[in-house]
Structure 1
């Protein structure tokens, strides 16, 4: 086995490896660590901090990278990357992934 000089950036490399040349996600990773790295990347690149999104907006953004937008949306909420109001009417990018419950207080 040979050592690769780019190994210290393994996280960003692994995320880049998940995408095809056209920018589409090849598959949603099964391994939790790789999936979490992907979710963090998607959150940072697709969603603005401090902004509320309606579900169709979340779906549209996720469709730009993969057809299974509902699975990605679910992983983002369960993983604490996106918070959803209890009534499901709004989503918001979380400050810190992993917040318990995955819900934010009611949005006006």
Structure 2
């Protein structure tokens, strides 16, 4: 125990400073931006901060959709599955944040501003 530094050689008492030294020697890198909320591409949690949530959703939308591309709901769900098991919530967030447009009958989706999705009468 003394050779490991856990116990002081002079008075044979526990040395709590050894743990501080170990932790200081290898600090854990703090994640920045959307990396705080994802593991790879999977969303671990949605940010409570609405601006940060918007940044996360913009990142997802940019990875899922190509500009001008119109996708059926099934295709959107398949692509969103790489980011979350709950594709319905993620899809709704993308529409609510006005990153993705949805046809009124819910059958087609595209990036906002990518072209018209004709409304179903």
**Structure 2, gaps ≥5 residues long:** 1-31
Matched with 1:55 is 73
RMSD: 2.0
Q: From 36, 52, 68, give the equivalent of 1:17.
A: 36
Deviation for aligned residue 1:62: 1.0
Q: How many residues align?
A: 88
Aligned positions of 1:23-102 closer than 5 A: 23-95=41-113
Deviations 1:75-94 (A, max 9, x none): 10111111011111111111
**Structure 1, gaps ≥5 residues long:** 1-12, 97-102
Name the TM-score, length of structure 1 as normaliser.
0.72
SS in 1 for 2:94: helix
Deviation for aligned residue 1:105: 2.7
Name the TM-score, length of structure 2 as normaliser.
0.65
Deviations 1:44-100 (A, max 9, x none): 11111101101111111111011111111001011111101111111111138xxxx
Higher relative contact order (CA 8 A, sep 6+): 1
Question: 1:43 & 1:33 partners in 2: Cα distance?
Answer: 15
Deviation >3 Å, runs of 4+: none
Larger Rg: 2
